[in-house]
Amino acid sequence: MTFLLTLLAAIFVLGPLIALHEWGHYIVARMCGVKVLTYSIGFGPKLFGWTSKKSGIDYRISALPLGGYVKMLDEREGNVAKDEQHLAFNYQHPLKKIAIVAAGPIMNFIIAIALFWVLFMTPSEQLATKIGQVLPDTPAAMAQLPVGDKIVAIDGHDVQTWEGINYRLAGRMGETDNVSITLQSDAQTNQSIKTYQAPVTQFMQGDAQGKDALTSFGMLPWQPQIAPIVGELAPDGAASRQGLQVGDRITAINNQNIDDWISATRIIRDNPEVLLDFTVLRDDKTVQLQIMPQGKKDNLGNNYGQIGAMVDQTEIVIPDAYKTTVVYGPGESLVKSFEKTEQLAVMTVSSMGKMLSGMIGLDNLSGPITIAKVAKQSFDISWQMVLSTAALISLSLAVLNLLPIPVLDGGHIVYHFIELIRGKPLSEGVQMVGLNIGLLLLAGFMVLAIGNDISRLF
């Protein structure tokens, strides 16, 4: 059932993005006077579809749901009657060819902007960007960032939400440098502004790989103070098997004092398959236990520890000082959606460059299995998360397709620019060599991405 739901979630999110990408090619081709023969969602054998009586276009859903295509009249793919040569793609001016090829990725950019626009216009109550905790032995601790101050900018870029902070920090992945953090000590005035320099070394790599950007950097939002008292135990969990009992109060883990549940959870999550020394208070007596967290994997394949212990459900009240309502008007939301799209596109390209240069590992590359799992998880959270996930995937599709690899849209655009400059297209031989190289590169990336996906499952 989980597999089926994951598949349906992936189809629901990816299907419209692929369909609209291909529709971009399709509609611009028709506007440019090129005859379209087939509009297909998916590759391979036709599952079902119909042929338009008016235009003769074959609209179809095909068996392999790994993309789609728009087939146009083209002498390179078959004979073209002399009276239809003006309708063939290969007879068009290079600028028309560029417009048709670029329309798909541009449509994905438009989708991302539109979805971000809807999300920015949706009022939401969020945690204020005040620092709730600074973790020891982290860049935030080395910079001596004060708890309670409000984060207003990262590296000179204004931030209003913890999501924005997380993206700005994630953009520094793999780098060794200083991160500028601008803080406001009094949320009511703009007079107490100070910028701190936090040193990072191979940020989010090494021992910090797998941790989110905020935890790696060491500054966290406000979190509730929940007493570290065990309220429930999973029968098959490590805690139950190794002696922890309901009602026990965890006072230390590996000689590190524990005064709230979240601190205990963080240590447990960061130490999968590591034997930890627990000190607990039971009936006013101190008890020493050794518990090894079971190793688990999240959707991105990151390892984390779990012992199967939970607290009793308690009502959490967020202090007013740590709450804020984020709301933007239509105009401001549109501006912010463009800004966010640009930021994430630049970050995506930068991450690809860092992988190729070795600054970050190739294991950060994700494939269709991870995308499907993330899509399913978004449905479990909220409709806003579904739209956000769709926007991020659409943006990734746009950037990926614009890479100058011959088999992708970006590679074809390069060919047509060369044709525009030379006054004639590259020879078929040169184009085929480029196509074969592109196919090998793309196949290599796909094998690596799917390999990463599979490794994350086990």
Lowest mean pLDDT among 10-14, 54-58, 69-73, 328-332: 10-14
Give the mean model confidence (pLDDT) for residues 380-401.
Answer: 88
Write the DSSP symbol of residue 189: -
pLDDT confidence bin for 37, thresholds 50/70/90: very high
Per DSSP, what are the bridge partners of residue 256? 253
Topology alike, domains 127-221 and 229-312: yes
Query: For this structure, is 428 an active site residue?
Result: no
pLDDT confidence bin for 64, thresholds 50/70/90: confident
pLDDT confidence bin for 233, thresholds 50/70/90: very high
CA–CA separation, 269 and 248 (whole Å)? 19
pLDDT for 99: 97
pLDDT for 369: 65
Lowest mean pLDDT among 40-49, 57-66, 204-213, 257-266: 204-213
Q: What is the pLDDT of residues 75-89, one digit of tens each?
A: 888 888 899 999 999
Give 190's contacts (C-beta < 8 A, 6+ positions apart). 184
Query: Could you tell me the two tokens for 163?
Result: 């999501």
Show the DSSP H helices in 272-382 as ranges. 330-357, 368-381
Give the mean model confidence (pLDDT) for residues 27-36.
Answer: 96
pLDDT above 60: residue 187 = no
Taking the domains of the chain in order of start, what are their residue ranges? 127-221, 229-312
pLDDT for 357: 82
- Virtual CA dihedral for 124, 125, 126, 128, nearest 10 degrees? 120
CA–CA separation, 217 and 139 (whole Å)? 5
pLDDT for 290: 95
How does DSSP assign 272-304, residue by residue? TT--EEEEEEETTEEEEEEE-PEEEE-TT--EE
Report the run of H or E that residue 127 belongs to, with start and end.
strand 124-127
Give the mean model confidence (pLDDT) for residues 368-395.
Answer: 80
pLDDT for 186: 63
CATH 3.30.420.40 assigned to domain 127-221? The reply is no
pLDDT for 368: 67
Write the DSSP symbol of residue 88: S
In 138-268, DSSP assigns E strands to: 150-154, 157-158, 177-184, 193-200, 219-220, 232-233, 249-253, 256-257
Percent above pLDDT 70 for the chain: 94
Per annotation, catalytic residue among 22, 75, 339, 428? 22
pLDDT for 1: 59
CA–CA separation, 375 and 332 (whole Å)? 28
Give the mean model confidence (pLDDT) for residues 389-410.
Answer: 92
pLDDT above 90: residue 432 = no
Q: What is the pLDDT of residues 273-294, one digit of tens each?
A: 999 999 999 999 999 999 999 9
CA–CA separation, 391 and 13 (whole Å)? 10
pLDDT for 191: 61
Per DSSP, what are the bridge partners of residue 282? 285
Q: What is the pTM of this model?
A: 0.82
pLDDT for 5: 76
CB atoms within 10 A of CB 331: 8
Lowest mean pLDDT among 125-129, 403-407, 448-452: 448-452
Fold of domain 229-312? Pdz3 Domain (2.30.42)
Q: What count of residues does the chain have?
A: 458
pLDDT above 80: residue 415 = yes
pLDDT confidence bin for 417, thresholds 50/70/90: very high
Query: Could you tell me the two tokens for 71?
Result: 């087939």
Nearest CA to 324 among 128, 37, 53?
128
Residue 128, judged by CB atoms within 10 A of its CB (0-12, 13-18, 19+), counts as: buried
Per DSSP, what are the bridge partners of residue 288? 279
Give the mean model confidence (pLDDT) for residues 207-229.
Answer: 86
Give 283's contacts (C-beta < 8 A, 6+ positions apart). none
Residue 330, judged by CB atoms within 10 A of its CB (0-12, 13-18, 19+), counts as: exposed
pLDDT above 80: residue 7 = no
- Contact of 344 with 167, CB cutoff 8 Å: yes
Instruction: Look over the chain and give the mean of its residue pLDDT values, rounded to a whole number.
Output: 88
- Virtual CA dihedral for 100, 389, 438, 355, nearest 10 degrees? 140
Q: What is the pLDDT of residues 164-181, one digit of tens each?
A: 999 999 999 999 999 999
pLDDT for 207: 74
- Contact of 293 with 271, CB cutoff 8 Å: yes
CA–CA separation, 120 and 170 (whole Å)? 21
Q: Which of 210 and 39 is assigned the larger pLDDT? A: 39
Nearest CA to 294 among 258, 241, 243, 250?
241
Give the mean model confidence (pLDDT) for residues 398-417.
Answer: 93
Residue 56, judged by CB atoms within 10 A of its CB (0-12, 13-18, 19+), counts as: exposed
pLDDT above 60: residue 114 = yes
